[in-house]
Structure 1
Amino acid sequence: MTTTDKNRTAIQHQLTAALEAINALADKGLTARSVSITGARPVIVIDRPRGDSLVGAQHIRERKGQLVTRTKMATPFHGCQVEWDVCQSTPTSGLH
């Protein structure tokens, strides 16, 4: 098997996993916003899940200015990694 064939097979497996995960997310009422197949497993970005339909762990946390903290949550799901953003405003005293 050539390198091209190995790459094609790996991508086909990742596409299959991503499609299965997207269908399972849809069954939970969640919509995929983007899919990336560039690493060991597909990464699917969704809108923030409501309720307990999907639970994840903090993956990345960054501050945007003084008032907003953006946290990227992630969880493994059907052979993929599913990610979503959570933005929180930080109230400051002295602002009216």
Structure 2
Amino acid sequence: MSQRMLDSAFRRYGVDAVYAPPRGGAPVPCHVIFAQGDVLADGFNSSARISEVRASEVPTMKEEGTLTIGGKTYTIQAARQPDPDRLLWRLELR
């Protein structure tokens, strides 16, 4: 996926959020897109919330940091960069 396509998707579907690193540090405003949870073998969705954040907005994402969206705060359980160009963070939230 190109940076241009990614930026377009975030303008259209992204919502405002704030990332806060664990154990202090300056909060970082960003935009997130919520994705579907994984579909389990029995056809039900997992309970994990998945979100995606552009690496251009938050270059370093740490597990146990938090994402605040619309007044609700989620803890980052896992942070991965699944695309080969590392343009995107995929986060599992709890």
Same fold (TM over 0.5): no
**TM-score bracket relative to the smaller structure:** under 0.3
TM-score, L = length of structure 2: 0.25
More helix by share: 1
TM-score, L = length of structure 1: 0.25
